[in-house]
Amino acid sequence: MTGADLEDRAGRIRPGEELPLERLRDYLRPVLGATAGALEARQFPGGHSNLTYLLGSGDEQWVLRRPPFGSKVKSAHDMSREYRILSALKDVFPYGPVPAHFCGDHDVIGCDFYLMNYIRGLVIRREYPPELNLGPDRTRRQLFNFFDVLGELHSVDLAEAGLEDFGRPAGYAQRQVEGWILRWENAVTDDTVNCDAIVKWLGDHLPPESGRASVIHNDYKLDNVIFSLDDPLTVIGVLDWEMATVGDPVMDLAYTLGYWVQTSDPDWYREARTMPSDVPGAPSRAEIVSRFQERTGIAVDNFPFWFCFALFRLLVIGQQIYYRYYHGHTRDERFAGFLQKAFVLQKMCEMIVSGKIEH
């Protein structure tokens, strides 16, 4: 098995998400040079938000990011925001893709887009590739490395990166909690779970501000990270910066651990996992929190609150998707399954609220 066999590859473009290649070639020719004339495009799989394409011309490759088709919410898919934070981080955080060009001319492909360098590597999704076969010890090292990179992001000097005014860190946590509670109230359906007790507990137990402001990714998970093909324990890239801002790093860590299922969790929770975080060798949430504090110097106080909030946030995101299905805004049967996921997350939140789970 070679590294190339494990490479995350772009494939055929999904119907309805094609790019106008002729106009794109004409526009990019002065940007990329003569090689743009032979431009071809493929699309990376996965993702429910911004779309990612691989552009190739001869031996050269670039990645193009654009908003989803039909989106009317510019603030949720702001390409200039992504481009700005990647531009700011390129000299202080070596894992972000290097942005190459931003285009705000909608006559080209119908929306804003930007180009960045292509990072060739391994992406781990719901299951580990069986060919990888790291074993428990190397798996443990790999997953600790994964969290260490998040800690490196939180340790970026905002002034050095020029990001002092990126986001509104004062009051960030309170705005997030209040905002996600409001989103929940707007997405409730007749058949959905009852989150009244969870919402009340979150409102009653909001911790005081930590006073710490860091660059936070807001969606840091295994399938948004690229590992080296030569050394799969080493992170070489972090993707999908559309929700990045400046805020509380403890909240960012909790968001990642909201995806983190471990062997001591109930079977019904483990069955709903989206990352292979309960494989032999994987660290527990408590071990991750301890290492994060030790390596970053950031105190992780009130973790049960933030863990519960992270799960509630995922519950709301799923309920918003189910809401579209429930009201007939989409016929995609996959969306029906988000109702069951909401029940699983509600049950886990209630176990945290009752003190049965702390990490």
* CATH assignment of the domain containing 82: 3.30.200.20
9 part of a folded domain: yes
130 part of a folded domain: no
Q: How many distinct structural domains can be found in the chain?
A: 2
For residue 127, with 0-12 CB atoms within 10 Å meaning exposed, 13-18 middle and 19 or more buried, which class applies?
exposed
Closest Cα to residue 220, out of 235, 234, 236, 241?
Answer: 241
- Whether residues 78 and 214 share a domain: the answer is no
- The pLDDT tens digits of the residues spanning 288-324 come to 999 999 999 999 999 999 999 999 999 999 999 899 8
66-88 burial, b at 16+ Cβ within 10 Å, e below that, comes to: bbeeeeeeeeebebebbbbbbbb
* Confidence (pLDDT) at 76: 52
- The pLDDT tens digits of the residues spanning 322-352 come to 998 899 877 778 788 899 999 999 999 999 9
Q: How many CB atoms lie within 10 A of CB 210?
A: 18
- Whether residues 84 and 147 share a domain: the answer is no
33 part of a folded domain: yes
- Whether residues 247 and 328 share a domain: the answer is yes
* β-bridge mates for residue 113, sequence order: 103
- Whether residues 193 and 60 share a domain: the answer is no
**Looking up tokens 């009244």, which residue turns up?**
196
Half-sphere exposure of residue 296: CA atoms within 13 angstroms, side-chain side: 25
Tell me which H or E stretch contains 51. strand 51-57
Residue-by-residue pLDDT tens, the chain, 359 positions: 444 557 888 889 988 889 999 999 999 988 887 666 688 999 987 655 688 999 998 888 999 999 887 654 454 568 999 999 999 999 999 999 999 999 999 999 999 999 999 999 999 999 999 889 899 999 999 999 999 999 999 999 999 999 998 989 999 999 999 999 999 999 999 999 999 999 999 999 999 888 899 999 999 999 999 999 999 999 999 999 989 999 999 999 999 999 999 999 999 999 999 999 999 999 999 999 999 999 999 999 999 999 999 999 999 999 998 998 899 877 778 788 899 999 999 999 999 999 988 78
- Whether residues 268 and 345 share a domain: the answer is yes
90 part of a folded domain: yes
d(CA 19, CA 144): 38
124 part of a folded domain: no
User: Which of the listed residues 117, 147, 169 is the one where a domain comes to its end?
Assistant: 117
**Looking up tokens 């990714």, which residue turns up?**
217
* Confidence (pLDDT) at 48: 54
Closest Cα to residue 93, out of 277, 311, 244?
Answer: 244
User: Which of the listed residues 85, 117, 149 is the one where a domain comes to its end?
Assistant: 117
203 part of a folded domain: yes
Q: What is the CATH number of the domain that holds 347?
A: 3.90.1200.10
Q: What residues make up the domain containing 294?
A: 135-353
Q: How many CB atoms lie within 10 A of CB 235?
A: 21
128 part of a folded domain: no
